[in-house]
Structure 1
Amino acid sequence: MSLFTYAERIANAQATKEPIEKITITNPTLTVDQAYEIQKISMEQTLTAENHFIGWKMGLTSVAKQQQVGVDSPIYGRLTSSMNLRRNEIIASDYIHPRVEAEVAFVFNKAVSGANLTPLDIWSSVESVYLALEVIDSRYQNFSFTLPDVIADNASSTKIWLSAQAFSPYALDWSAVNVVLKQNGEEKLYGNGAAVLGHPIHSVIELLTLLAKEGRGILPGQLVLTGGITDAIAVQAGDVIEADYGQLGKLTLFVK
């Protein structure tokens, strides 16, 4: 089966909300490079005048998640404008197995590229930081996959809810931001920015290193989701999810 065919299968699963068998069942030798090519093909098929490319998301940015899948570095996915929620609600039936996690997102006002950069190389290109809830949804049966599978599936990207308030990147130490993730008023998960590779800026460094292999970088105006501060929590219709970032404020997402 061609990479294009795999990309079509993933896109179809997302459109129909019907889970598929993971690719590595029929193609156990699928490589990471091939998986990124499937991701690229699949996401490019969704682009239109109304749905354009807006940036990147990082996954597997905690040591615990990396150990779970046997890797020592994060992965990335692509973000499009249709993923950016206009209202703080989602419809559960629009997804296969929706989950929500708390993050912070960076928006860039200058281009930056290159491998093995330092925070000093990057901060001057960051315009603002947003609080974020990311809705993830694997297109595979039982939310089960290997590393190449999840890369091919665009790192399980689905939707984003961003804070209305933009924060200065220099306002505070983003590794010290604490988050409490609540489900229907009950505290479920805790985390802080240091869970993201020690500091969310390190997630950007890893993204740029990965993109440098393709001769790419981050462009002005692009958004980068830096990775889960908390684990993802499974949601269903009727749920109210709240991420409490302390003095920075709260984000609420209603699941219809």
Structure 2
Amino acid sequence: MHADAIRSAAITLAARRLSGECGPLLQGDAAPQTLDEALAIQQGVRELLGNGVGGWKCGLPGEGRVVLAPIFASTVSDAAPCPVWVRDGVVRTEPELAFVFASGLPARGQPYSRDEVLAAVSGVRLALELIDSRFDAEPKPPFLQSLADGLVNQGLWLGPLVDKARALAASTLAIRVQQGGRDEVLDGVHPAGDPLAPLLWLVEYLRAQGEGLLPGQAVITGSYAGVVALQPGEPATLQFGTLGALTVDFGAR
């Protein structure tokens, strides 16, 4: 994939992020055909936006896929109301745990141990990944185009701190959703079975690329209940098993 094609794709996706508009799939030479091309477009979007990385979303790799995307600093929030792009009258969210780093893990030659990663995690917070795509709803984007676009991330809302040891053991979490007249309990299961495993993979992946985790960054590692649609303009409370609860209110950007 020529550098000009990568830049063209990145310009398209960066412009849609800024405007909130969706559009067709990347076409022709601008459509990624390999993981490296998709990640190069993702990096190009980072450079064009000039927006610091406030965190990462990640998952365990498999079947020729890597699951990682930057979460831009300007889209990480704990404000009320939280500004979001609203689609079809709803805000799409994913209930997750966010691992927050105090000291960071700078790039270095040798791998980090599990204990070193845990020592760098200053806290675990209840969180909602904010979901949005820069592509039209149909046809469904192929994985490589979704990866280039940041894996449908539009931001991250951070809730309260929870007990770190209990969070690390939370392979399952019942998610209770209350908003208006809605009161629903979802059977929450972490997609990796272990909320820490994708983080350990991410640390090593970034290290091998000559990149580290910075102080203050937050990492999410998978939704406990898939996508949960919430209504803007009305407070919603999500209970994460016995770990705790967050209350959030969204306002349209």
TM-score by length of structure 1 reads 0.79
- Does the alignment pair 1:216 with 2:211? yes
Q: Deviations over 1:108-159 (max 9, x none)?
A: 2344468986644522221110000111101111162111111111122112
- Measure how far apart 1:234 and its partner are: 3.4
Percent identical among aligned pairs is 27
Partner of 1:245: 240
**Which structure is higher in strand share?**
2
What SS does the aligned partner of 2:213 have?
A: coil
Distance in 2 between the 1:129 and 1:167 partners? 6
Q: Shift in Å at residue 28 of structure 1?
A: 5.5
Tell me if the contact between 2:130 and 2:155 (Cα under 8 Å) persists in the aligned partners.
yes
Over aligned residue pairs, what C-alpha RMSD do you find?
Answer: 3.0
Structure 2: distance between partners of 1:254 and 1:153: 26
C-alpha offsets along residues 153-210 of structure 1, whole Å, 9 cap, x if unaligned? 11221122212x3234234523344323445423163304xx2411111010221233
Bigger mean CA deviation after superposition, 246-255 or 145-154: 246-255
Q: 1:54 to 1:161 in 2, by over 3 A?
A: same
Unaligned runs of 5+ in 1: none
Q: Structure 2 matches for 1:1-256, cutoff 5 A? A: 2-23=5-26, 30-47=33-50, 51-59=51-59, 71=63, 74-90=66-82, 94-96=85-87, 98-112=91-105, 119-142=114-137, 144-163=140-159, 165-171=160-166, 173-182=169-178, 184=180, 185-187=182-184, 189-192=186-189, 195-238=190-233, 240-256=235-251
Q: In proportion to residue count, which structure has more helix?
A: 1
Q: TM-score w.r.t. structure 2 length?
A: 0.80
Letter in 2 for 1:221: G
The residue type paired with residue 145 of structure 2 is D
Q: Separation in 1 of the partners of 2:23 and 2:121? A: 38
Structure 1 residue matching 2:77: 3-state secondary structure? coil
Deviations along 1:189-237, whole A, 9 cap, x unmatched?
3304xx2411111010221233234222323332111221110123454
Aligned residues: 241
Structure 2, unmatched stretches of 5+, are none
Q: Counterpart of 1:43 in 2: which secondary structure?
A: helix
Q: Deviations over 1:34-83 (max 9, x none)?
A: 11111111122223xxx532221125x6xxxx8xxx83655111122211
State the AA in 2 paired with 1:145: P
> CA separation in 2, counterparts of 1:55 and 1:29?
24
Query: Amino acid of the residue matched to residue 2 of structure 1?
Result: A
Q: Distance in 2 between matches of 1:115 and 1:148?
A: 30
Deviation at 1:6, TM superposition (A): 0.6
Contact in 1 for aligned 2:9/2:31 (Cα 8 Å): no
For residues 115 and 104 of structure 2, the distance between their equivalents in structure 1, rounded to whole angstroms, comes to 14
